Each structure stands twice: as structure tokens, then as C-alpha cells.
Structure 1
């Protein structure tokens, strides 16, 4: 069964969102644990406890990151080309930070030397804290428009600078993203640990959960009061071949909130962000940590879903040439490509989810100091 072109464009907008959420939930809790590592583990045994909660899984969870990047490349080639041109140094910073993760996990325990191990602990911190910060900053810039335009031959030209990305609203979004991922990692770490490490992690969980709620609220108010959104005022042919220059776009106050008036059901998403965060905090304090992890995952769905619903149909608006802004309808691959990719996704994604679920089930349970001492020569 083949879907029509307009339907496929919307399906792939949803699927890219699912992959981003999957990355934030699965690889996000690994990054959150890495961010907390130097602070909740006070000696080598405690830090090895922290590392062993994610050590067996982190590389498998990278599948979501790779798949998400591949999906954007294949489904939204113009977005991929334009974003990696405009955010080139930011993306390189993410990759450089991520380099610390494989080498940190693999080399940290090779030498029994405090300086050596503490150095890699901070490397794992960088690998956990920097990517969500930069991804949040990138999302913040999307709401303000990215300084790029297309020539008549659809060659993209980026006219901004790396430092221009570090504006106040984007940095606030970076704080929201970092708080969200660290909060989620703290919930997972509480689920897998006990004793002093768990108590310190609970304190961190409450701090970052509160920061997430405050930052998310502040970003929403700022978006409502201080940032003009984008709106398409010309007719949109959802079934047409991609051509981002074939539309008329204006900026107007409150445009980023217009979708909530058009589709009131989308209000579920910001409500889910608040309810999921609060529920996760309450459940974690009462040691219902598995339920808390589910709740924090729903909070991530709410936060990322709110950003996507607010931007729709835009994917990457342009601040220098409004009509060059990329949308769900004019930045996609061909009808055939989207169909083939959809069926590949429907086949392989359940396999990935099933394998991941099995792996977590096999390696479930608390990581304790006794386990670390009994497995002193283990990889982590």
C-alpha cells in the first residue's frame, strides 16, 4: 500500500519527531547520568556504580541518534544540507563532545590511577552535558529564524556566525534542554542505585526538575510576548514537488502559538510536559522510580512535542529571506523515497525496540558497591 505524497510528508514529520523523542529518552538518560557523574559519586567505587548503570547500554542507545540523523538526511535533504551548513561549528562541537563517551567508557578503568580516572570522569561529563545544551540552543534559534537564504537554483547560503547562535533566548532553550536530559538521567540513576549515591541523585533530580519547569515556563512566556513568529499567507499545495521559494511568509506577533487555537488538542503537549515532570518528581521521591522514569519520558514527549507543534509547518524558518524558510511540505525527498523509507522504518523500528527492551530486562536491577568490588576487573 502506497500513501499519497501529502500524507507521507506529514507522516515523516511525525516520524522524525518520534526519532528525536526516542533519542532524548534513550540516549538522553545516558547523557544525564554522565552529566551527574562527577557530582553524585564521591569516590571511585561510587563513580563506578554510576558508570555501570549505563555502561552496558549507552552504545546501543546511540542507534537513536544515528537513525535520527539518517532520517533527516533522507527525508528532509534540504533541512540537512542547510542546518549542517549554518550550524557547522555547533554540530562539530557536539561530535567532539561525543568523542569523550566511547573513549571514556572504554579507557577509564584501564589504569588504576586517581588522576587518570578523574580525567575520564570529567570527559564523560562533557560528553553528557554539551550535546543537549547545543541541541537546545539550536531549537531556540529555529524559533527566531536562521539567517540563510536560497538562490534561484536552491543553493543554500548561510549568512550568520557561530557566536550569533548564542543569543539569550537560545541559551534559555539550551538550559531547558540540559535540565530536561539531566532530570531524566537522575530518575534513571535513582532507579538503578541505592544508598548515598541515590540520595545525592534525588537532590539533583529535584534541582533539575524545578529548573526544567521554570525554564520551560520562561521560554513559553518569552515566545508569547517577545518573539514574532512566522506564518504562511499564500496557498500551500501539499502535493507539489519541493520548492521552498514558492510561498509567501510574514512575521507576526503570536504566530508561534496560532496552532494551539487551530488545533486545541495540541494543548495536551505542554500540559504533558508539566504533568510528567511533576509526577516524575513525586514518584521518584516516593521511590516509585520505574513509574517516575515513565513519567519523565512523557515529560520529554511534552517538551519536544510542544516545540514541534509550535513550529509546524515550519522546520527551519529563515530570518533573512522569509520565503526561504523550510517547511514540512517543501523540504522533503521524493514520493518514492519517502514510501520506501516508511516501510523500512515499519520493519526495523519494532526490532530495535524489542531488542532494547530485552537488553534492559536482562541487565535490570540495582548496581551496588558489593557488585563493583566483586567485579573489580570488569570493563567499567
Structure 2
């Protein structure tokens, strides 16, 4: 209880905002290369054996990596209930499309090699491509819509009303963010393939990784320009209690051009995030050319960290702005669970998150090494 008293409500809110970012970045870094490998499957592998090599580079780890998505969803549900309610109801069809695509992955892995038919295997290869491309695209589209604001409003009793449509999410800026997400995760998947394969597969992955990295740099720059010129940001214009009960209606919000860049002027250290986004991608280009396989994968993780962190830092303290009712926008200070709930969750996280990280590190150490033809043809456990 002493620790509960020392950790003020506003401190816990910021800690859980940071932890939510950690979980989302963890998902992009860990499961992101799985999605990227799925998107590269038809291009990096030309023969059936090569495609089996591509699949088996992620075969032992993809299920564990997907846990980060479940952790992120669970954290939103428990720590930020209004955010969960708006996003998982307003983006229902988009979430359904993501889940449907993700379901194709385990089915594709299990059934692809059950028959010798080339048509059978080619169709499952297409399914695995869809299972990588659709989630990568829609996650990026979702981030683009969050930056623009989502059309929801709150009644006086804090009931949520969502006024948007699925196709309204597919606007130009959101699609730009979706393409950035696809390019970023393709870059990451290519770097994983370069690390885990050899020969023609690794050579093709290196070439496609270079293209995807150049696309990531270009689309990230275009996204920043578009955010400055065409997307209005949000800022709180009234006093707000950082330790009071969660009530999104207890504030006023102004919408103005360039507001998402105000945090960088007020806190210059935040510029480190977009710098790391660009720098990591540039270092990926160097690493691919210099054939520094491990370093290149770390550089792509650095780029992903910088790109995603720049979104969170730009928006802080907002976590989901509202276009229909700006004053109802959800922020770190007025959309969280109770003080006690956040504290109990933090204790559980401090205990179990290091265990998850340690187990994951042990599993990757155990599975270290490249996947080659002998691994596919010499044993009965390969996909």
C-alpha cells in the first residue's frame, strides 16, 4: 500500500501510456517481421522448396510473436476502457478483416504442404500473403485515422456514439499511413529473411528489402508533410485535472493546423523519435549493402520504434481525438481506469513481462541459425 500511495494517479496514467506504446511497438517489432515474411513469400521464393524455406524461417516463432497483439488488446481493455469501447466498436469491420486475415496464417502453415498439388500450394501461398498484407495495411490505416480524429461523440451519461463508416476510414491520408505500414513491415520481414536464409532466397530478400526501405523513408517523409499541411491537430485549451476521475467531457479542445507538432517545440528532445525513424531506415540500407545481417535487423527495429513513437509523442496527451465532438476526445488524463486498477495491473506487469521477455529470448537463442534445404528435406517437422 505504501507503493500505491507513492505512485500518484497521474504518474500511473503516464506509465500505462508508456506501457501501451511498449506493447504496440513490441507487436510491430516481433510479429511485424512475420507479417513482412508473409508479404514476401510469393517474391522471395520462386520454387516450392524455396517457399517452404521462407515459411519455416517464421514457423517456430510466429505464434509466440502474436501474443504481443493479445497483450496490447488486453492492456487497452483494462487500462483505457473508453479507448477500447470506441476503437473496437467503431473499427469493428476493420478489426474483423484483420482477424479473418490472421486466421489464414495458422491454417496456411498447417495445410499448405498436406498435398503435392501445385495449385493447392499456390492458393495457400496467396492466403499467407493476404494474412500478412491485410493486417499490415489496416493497422496503418487505423493509425492514420487516429491522427485525423475519429467521428465519435459522448452523451451526457458518457454513452458512446460512433458516426463513421468502414469506407470512411479509407481516406487518402489513412491509406498513405497504411502503405507506410506495409513498406515498414516488408522491410522488417526482408531483414529477417536475410538473417535466417541463404542463397537465392536471401539474395531476393535483400533486393526487396532495399526497395521496401526506400519506400519506408519516402512514405514516412510524405506522411510528415501531409500531417503538417492537411491534417488538423488537437490541443487542450482549458484546465484539466491529471489526478481526477476519468471524464472526457470535463475539458475544452481546439482543433488547428500544425497542432500535432506543438510537442516538438515545447519538448525538443521528442525530435529523437522521428530522427530514429529515418536514421534506422538509412542504417538498414547500409546494413543490407554491407551484409551485416544481425545489425540490419536491429536497425529495422530501431526504425519501427522511431516511427511508432513519433505518433504517440506527437499526440500526447491525446490517445483518440474526436472529429464529431472535439471536447470528448480521449486523453491520458481522462480515459483511464481507476487508480487501484492501474496499480494492480502494473504490479502484474512488472512480474510477468520480464518472464515473457526472458522466455522469448531463450526461445530465439535455441532456434538461432539459418534455415536451409536440409532442414526442409531431411526432417519430418518442417512446414
Whether TM exceeds 0.5 here: the answer is: yes
Secondary structure class of the residue paired with 1:116 = helix
User: Which whole-Å CA distance do the structure 1 matches of 2:343 and 2:284 have between them?
Assistant: 38
Distance 2:99 2:309 in 1: 25
In the alignment, is residue 8 of structure 1 matched against residue 48 of structure 2? no
What CA distance in whole angstroms lies between the structure 2 residues aligned with 1:195 and 1:286?
Answer: 16
Q: Which residue of 2 aligns with 1:248?
A: 252
Question: Aligned-pair distance for 1:281?
Answer: 1.8
Q: Contact 1:99–1:127 at 8 Å: present in 2 too?
A: yes
Q: Does 1:123 align with 2:93?
A: no
Q: Which runs of 5+ in 2 are unaligned?
A: none
1:1-380 correspondence to structure 2 within 5 Å: 1-2=3-4, 3-375=7-379, 377-380=380-383
How far residue 379 of structure 1 moved from its aligned partner, in angstroms, is: 4.1
The alignment partner of 1:310 has SS state of helix
Give 1:378 shift: 2.4
Q: CA deviation at 1:284?
A: 2.1
Query: Using the alignment, how far apart are the partners of 2:113 and 2:119 within structure 1?
Result: 11
CA distance in 2, matches of 1:191, 1:285: 13
Output the CA distance in 2 between the equivalents of 1:218 and 1:57: 34
Give the Cα–Cα distance (whole angstroms) in 2 for the partners of residues 342 and 285 of structure 1.
Answer: 43
Superposition misfits of 4+ residues, deviation over 6 angstroms: none
Instruction: Identify unmatched segments of 5+ residues in structure 1.
Output: none
Equivalences, count? 379
Question: Is the contact made by 2:318 and 2:332 (CA closer than 8 Å) also made in structure 1?
Answer: yes
User: What is the RMSD of the two structures over their aligned residues, measured on CA atoms?
Assistant: 0.8
Q: TM-score, normalised by structure 1?
A: 0.98
Q: Does structure 2 retain, via aligned residues, the 8 Å contact 1:109–1:379?
A: no
User: Helix, strand or coil: the match of 1:230?
Assistant: strand
C-alpha distance in structure 2 between counterparts of 1:371 and 1:251, whole Å: 57
Superposition deviation, residue 371 in structure 1 = 2.2
Q: Secondary structure at the match of 1:161?
A: coil
CA distance in structure 1 between the aligned counterparts of 2:346 and 2:116, rounded to whole angstroms: 48
Task: Normalising by structure 2, report the TM-score.
Answer: 0.98
What's the secondary structure of 1:82's corresponding residue?
helix
**What is the SS of the residue equivalent to 1:120?**
helix
CA deviation digits over 1:194-218, x for unaligned, max 9?
A: 1111111111101110110000000
Q: Report if aligned partners of 2:375, 2:382 keep a CA contact under 8 Å in 1.
A: no
